[in-house]
Structure 1
Amino acid sequence: MATTISSTPRRRRDATANRAALLAAAQSVLSNDPNASLDTIAHAAGLSRRALYGHFPDRDSLLREVITNGTVRFNAIAEEVDDRDPRVALARMAARLWHEASTVRATANIALDDTHVAVTIRALAPLRRRLRALARAGVASGAFRGDVPPDLLAFLIEETARATLRELRLTTADAAATVIRVVLSIAGLSWTEQRDLLAAHPDILGVG
């Protein structure tokens, strides 16, 4: 009886460690191949496919958790980024989110897949709320275009950024600048206003 009782915490620790290993392996493997099989992910984690099924009943449940874990970091960025100038705040948010997406590539790859858009929308609810608040502040202050309702503007910014991020052939540096400029364009800034804004805040492109 004593052996059974003492072995229970160890089994739980092992199960927790195996789950963490599977999620880390999925993040790594899916970063390079979004269509990687469960066998490939299990092998990368040093576990069997059977062990993987002990934690995730199917591939979709594993992908959903990868999305959820990754988007926690995206949501945190959205809450952290702030500036009195809504244009600067939006540019900083775009830059930092791109940097995070390039790091957590598996989450970005899956989140950009239309198959998982519903999961992504739910997981990114805090980020989307922050973007709507930023759009409302920008429109109210005159920093953003006023010919589109703020909530619709936030939606357009989100969808345009998502479409731009699909272009994975861009280098990280080029993509960061492109995403920032596209987002600012949707917000209503001309290319010269974007140029001046980035020149005045060079740390934005440096993900400061």
Structure 2
Amino acid sequence: MTTRAPRRDAVENRAVILAAARSTLAVDPYASIDVIARTAGLSRRTLYGHFDDRDALIRELISTGAQRFNSIAASIYDEDARITLARLAARLWHEAAHVHLAAALALDETHVEHTAAALAPLRRTVADLVRRGQEDGSFRTDLAAPTLARLIEEMARTVVSRTDATSSDAADVAVRTVLSIAGLSWREIDDLLTAHPDIDATAPADRTARA
């Protein structure tokens, strides 16, 4: 007689569902709950035992991605606000390129409020960094700090959503764009990146250490 394998516990099932959702939605952003459940090897009933509906599942994907982004933001610091911003942009680009699905979902206007709440720590980091850069003369001061921080955030959103993550110069474009919005000229950006070759948006996420 064949012995039935033990059922996966709730924690494992949830992890399997999230993994299936990431892989399925990466191929088809409009994939249904049925498709995700089949990919996970689970029934719809089991999936609904963890998530009330498809939106709840997507919100969980955004939240887990946001936790990683927030952790990266908390790990980067340099006395020079320009270097901090460049490293932050590089690391976040690297993460977004590797979890492009979560980044794309986060940029979806349908989930903008949830995304804003999930990324609140990252947004506070950017706002504090902008204020520091303005105070020491590193960043432009013709705009109020909250406005400049919002411009940097919106430009980063645009670059992530419009740039091909597989392009060889995509990371460089992202970093240069953010620094440009902060007020640096293209010559200043060239000098900064030349002087700090460790600012590498293609580097593994764990390579950058706190300065």
Establish whether TM, by shorter chain, passes 0.5.
yes
Alpha-carbon distance in 1 for matches of 2:22, 2:99: 7
- How many residues align? The count is 198
Task: Kindly state the Cα deviation for residue 170 of structure 1 after the two structures are TM-superposed.
Answer: 4.4
Residue 34 of structure 1 is aligned with which of 29, 32, 45?
Answer: 29
Asked if residue 87 in structure 1 is aligned to residue 74 in structure 2, the reply is no
Asked if residue 141 in structure 1 is aligned to residue 136 in structure 2, the reply is yes
Q: Is the 8 A contact 1:31 1:109 kept in 2?
A: no
Residue 166 of structure 1 is aligned with which of 161, 164, 172?
Answer: 161
Q: Is the 8 A contact 2:97 2:165 kept in 1?
A: no
Q: Determine the structure 2 residue equivalent to 1:186.
A: 181
Q: Determine the structure 2 residue equivalent to 1:130.
A: 125
Task: Kindly state the Cα deviation for residue 109 of structure 1 after the two structures are TM-superposed.
Answer: 1.1
Letter in 1 for 2:11: T
| RMSD value, Cα | 1.6
Task: Kindly state the Cα deviation for residue 102 of structure 1 after the two structures are TM-superposed.
Answer: 1.1
Alpha-carbon distance in 2 for matches of 1:170, 1:23: 23
Q: TM-score, normalised by structure 1?
A: 0.90
Cα 1:168/1:53, change in 2 over 3 Å: farther
5 Å-filtered alignment, 1:1-208, equals: 14-171=9-166, 173-205=168-200, 206-207=202-203, 208=208
Q: TM-score, normalised by structure 2?
A: 0.89
Unaligned runs of 5+ in 2: 1-5
Q: Which has the higher contact order (CA 8 A, sep 6+)?
A: 2
Letter in 2 for 1:35: Y
> How many percent of aligned residue pairs carry the same amino acid?
57
Cα 1:153/1:58, change in 2 over 3 Å: same
Alpha-carbon distance in 1 for matches of 2:64, 2:165: 25
Unaligned runs of 5+ in 1: 1-9
How big is each residue's C-alpha offset from its partner over 1:82-141, in whole Å with a ceiling of 9 and x where there is no partner? Answer: 111111100100010011111112210100111111000000000000000000000000
Alpha-carbon distance in 2 for matches of 1:102, 1:29: 17
Task: Kindly state the Cα deviation for residue 175 of structure 1 after the two structures are TM-superposed.
Answer: 1.8
Letter in 1 for 2:73: A
Point out 4+ residue stretches in structure 1 off by more than 3 angstroms: none
Task: Kindly state the Cα deviation for residue 169 of structure 1 after the two structures are TM-superposed.
Answer: 2.7
